[in-house]
Amino acid sequence: MATLKKLLLDIIPVVIGILLALILNGMVEDMRSRKYFRQSLSAIIQENDHNIKEMEYALQRQKVFRDTLYHYYQSDTLAMIDITLKAQGFYSPDLKLTSWKFLLEDSKHTLIPIEMINKLTEIEKYYSIINKMTGMVTEQFYRDGYFDKSATKLPMLVLVNDFKQAEESALEVLQDFKTYVEEQDF
């Protein structure tokens, strides 16, 4: 019995030491994860701010292009390429979406609120739509860019209007994400 008591007295400090070490290790790992999350969130916020500015600029440029196209689309003397030159080109926004994907792919993503993931996924959806529409506009331009009949310009006018609506929706989603992040306490 005395040896059992002595054994327990020897083991208890070891067990307590191991438990304390595990608790401290967990706390340190949690602090590192939170720091990593905050750094990643900072990069995501910077990308989002860039995307908002890029989208606002793109909308200004689309307005010029759309207004110029609308003004000249019935002209049988100007081809799409001429109209595009008068509008100083067609502009497609250069959106950035790398930081949040990197964060999600990392094993420390358990700190990301599901609402944030949903909002970032919505942004990615519009990024994809805008990329597809850019391809459609480019394809339409290459197909009909040198024709001067109004019937060949009308599909481009419709596409550009749809493109502008997609950009406006994307800008709303980007601004919504910015507001969401500002209201959170991360």
Q: What is the pTM of this model?
A: 0.82
| Mean pLDDT for the stretch of residues 144-164 | 89
* Highest mean pLDDT of the ranges 111-120, 128-137, 146-155: 128-137
Whole-angstrom distance, CA of residue 58 vs CA of residue 55: 5
User: What is the DSSP secondary structure assignment for residue 39, as one 8-state letter?
Assistant: H
The predicted pLDDT at position 109 comes to 57
Return the higher-pLDDT residue of 147 and 57.
57
What amino acid is encoded at 50 in this protein?
H
Whole-angstrom distance, CA of residue 46 vs CA of residue 44: 5
Distances (CA, A) of 42 to 45, 71, 186: 5, 43, 11
User: What is the DSSP secondary structure assignment for residue 174, as one 8-state letter?
Assistant: H
Whole-angstrom distance, CA of residue 177 vs CA of residue 67: 30
Whole-angstrom distance, CA of residue 174 vs CA of residue 52: 6
The predicted pLDDT at position 81 comes to 92
Residues 57-102: pLDDT tens digits?
999 999 999 999 999 988 888 999 999 999 999 999 999 988 887 7
Return the higher-pLDDT residue of 172 and 106.
172
Whole-angstrom distance, CA of residue 50 vs CA of residue 164: 19
Whole-angstrom distance, CA of residue 72 vs CA of residue 138: 19
Four-CA torsion 170, 175, 176, 177, nearest 10 degrees: 90
Average pLDDT value over all residues in the chain: 89
CB 93 within 8 A of CB 167: yes
